[in-house]
Amino acid sequence: MCGLQQPLGRRLLLLTVLLAQHCADATTSIQPHIVTIILDDWGWANWGYHDRLVNNQQLQKEVQTPVMDALAQHGIVLDRLYVHNVCSPSRSAFVTGRNPRHVNLINRPSDMYDPSLPLDGIWGVPAQMTGIAEKLKSAGYATQHVGKWHLGYASHHQMPSARGYDRFFGYLGGGNDHWTYKINKLSKGSCGRPSLDLWHNGAPATDKVPHHTCGVASQDGCWYEDALFEQQVTGAINDHADLNTTQPLFLTWAPHAVHVPLQPIAAQEAKFDFIDFPSRRKYAAVVNDMDRRIGRVVSTLKRRGLWDTTLLVVMSDNGGPSLVDGGANNYPLRGEKGFNSEGGVRSNAFMAGGFVPEAQRGSVANGLMGIEDFYATFCGVGGVVTLRDAKAAAAGLPPVDSLNMWPYLSGAVEMSPRDLVVVSDGHQPQAVIDRLGYKLIVGETSSKGTTTSTLPNASYVSPSFCFQRHDKHPPYAGACLFNVFADPSESTNIADAHPDVIQRLTKSLEEAQRDTLRRRYGPEPTAHQALTSPACRVSKRKWGGFEGPWIEFS
């Protein structure tokens, strides 16, 4: 039964996937170590593997990622992994196994709160949803998260320790300073002054507070934040290996890089002084820096004897920001972070490690995959008994959307089980992509129509609308249809030539819009209100000026 060939009919395809999953579960005798690296704002063209495919000499000179190139060439490239166009919704999908529309569609400060609203009235992943670390922990895994959280922390029920992680070292919000660990302009300070944001397990990392002279202009004797994170990751691997146990490890590493502010180590930036444009130079430096850190962590896994049973996943949470101070490039994809063109939602991604079947090494998986699918995939290889989220069901929340991709990625079946990817803006689904490559977009989407190998540059200041305004409501007059398999730059709107496709995908989009989780939160405090907000008071009184959970302590 496990040797069935792939059938052509849809129902037979589903049956084959289920049979292949049964076979895989029956024959896998080990639980792999699962190490996931989620880079922040990594642009499509800022990976040397992609630059060589398009033979772009300028990018090949600027983009230096030899470690990740080699890992991908001996692993599985996930060529059609789709994510949300900004950070938190993507990470929420990864953790909960739900499409972003079923968990969280917006980035917001954690001090939005209204206790009269359902689901606690706070922003972030609902406390009633079961996370991937909880699932894997139920199957015997040791669990650890290092780096960016950005899933909500107003309540201690939203913290990593409540999500199944045995250990945590990282920052709670959307971004902070690489050298001072103070929250940056993208993460509003709630107390009228910069707050510190760095935690170790259940308390602020007070022992890591840098001296007052530390900063991008004064780096001597200071800890670069991604160096701290690498140290924690390496320590987690060494500690686990020292236990000399068969217990599997689930480790999520979410570096600060390559998110703004771009503050590379000075010597690292000097390696790219041939790049005249400042943000592009800094971006190239931090990408190369992360490549080197990943290489050292992989070397540790090999040296400690864990690599042969490790499944390593590397991906980006969204496309790169190509604004002047963003530094990224998504060539040849249209657009960037924050928009639903391909440059915002198609992610760099690959799998590597000794757990990847030998026959699949060096392959490219062209089938559709959503970031939410890692949940079921990890549960499948990790021996989790059921995907059902009883806690969420009791709260009336949407079920898990995730599909187990392992039968497809391991070569047991020829086609991805995912037929459709749903892509949302900050309010509701805006686009759908089917397994034939057709992508329907309604409403407005933005970013420059022209993509070059030298973005950003001085003439590229801000995004502009690349499509005419069109109706967000049926029948979507003026909607855009592309075949992104044949036209990754989304340069030719083929809607007029394919009314049947428009009609078919419109139904899928409307279904996705109807079942979107409509959440409400409290209002974002004004600057004056923030000075006396409960979040501010608790930060000062309990956490010593660090960001932290506050609802239970206010």
CATH number at residue 146: 3.40.720.10
Q: How far is CA 40 from the centre of its chain?
A: 7
User: Do 401 and 525 belong together in one domain?
Assistant: yes
7 in a structural domain: no
CA–CA distance, 97 with 85 (Å, rounded to integer): 17
Say whether both 415 and 535 belong to one domain.
yes
Contact between 254 and 170 (Cβ < 8 Å): yes
State whether 506 and 527 are in the same domain.
Answer: no
User: CA-CA distance, 468 to 478, in Å (whole number)?
Assistant: 8
- Per DSSP, the three-state class of 497 is helix
Residues 486, 536, single domain; the answer is no
535: nearest Cα among 88, 125, 173, 107: 173
Is 24 within a domain?
no
SS (H, E, C) 246-284: CCCEEEEEECCCCCCCCCCCHHHHHCCCCCCCHHHHHHH
Q: What 8-state DSSP symbol labels residue 525?
A: P
Whether 460 is in a domain gets the answer yes
Q: How far apart are the first and last CA of the chain?
A: 60
Higher pLDDT, 340 or 10: 340
Query: Do 63 and 178 lie in a common domain?
Result: yes
Residue 287 lies in a domain: yes
pLDDT of residue 95: 98
Whether 262 is in a domain gets the answer: yes
Residue 26 pLDDT? 36
Pair (384, 482) in one structural domain: no
Taking the CA atoms of 12, 18, 19 and 20 in sequence, report the sign of the dihedral they define.
Answer: positive
Residue 90 has φ and ψ, to the nearest 5°, of -65, -45
Residue with tokens 């079961």: 130
Q: How many domains does the chain have?
A: 2
For residue 55, how many other CB atoms are within 10 A of its CB?
8
Determine, yes or no, domain membership for 25: no
Q: How many CA atoms lie within 13 A of 204 on its CB side?
A: 19
Residue pointed to by tokens 């849809």:
10
The answer on 214 and 193 residing in a single domain is yes
| Shared-domain flag, residues 138 and 265 | yes
Tallying the residues shown for the chain, one arrives at: 554
Secondary structure class of 131 (helix, strand, coil): coil
Average pLDDT, the chain: 88
The reply to whether 1 falls in a domain is no
Question: Using an 8 Å Cβ cutoff, are 16 and 7 in contact?
Answer: yes
pLDDT at 23 over 70: no
Indicate the pLDDT class of residue 464, thresholds 50, 70 and 90. very low
Of 105, 52, 39, which Cα lies nearest the Cα of 422? Answer: 105
Q: How far is residue 237's CA from residue 281's CA, in Å, rounded to a whole number?
A: 32
419 shares its domain with 459: no
Q: Are residues 400 and 488 in the same domain?
A: no
Q: Quick one: average pLDDT of 327-354?
A: 94
**Inter-residue long-range contacts of 155-161, CB under 8 Å, 24+ positions, other chains counted:** 155/120, 155/122, 155/127, 155/549, 155/551, 155/552, 156/549, 156/552, 157/127, 158/122, 158/124, 158/125, 158/127, 158/549, 159/202, 159/549, 160/133, 161/201, 161/202
Residues 370 and 283 in one domain: yes
State the pLDDT at residue 477. Answer: 66
Q: Is 268 domain-assigned?
A: yes
* DSSP code per residue over 375-395: HHHHHHHHT-S----HHHHHT
Q: What is the mean pLDDT of residues 461-479?
A: 54
Domain enclosing residue 72, as ranges: 40-437+516-553
125-139, 238-252, 346-360, 446-460: least confident range: 446-460
Residue 129 pLDDT greater than 90, yes or no: yes
Quickly tell me which residue has 């409307």 as its tokens.
Answer: 510
At residue 187, does pLDDT exceed 50?
no
- Say yes or no: 141 and 235 in one domain: yes
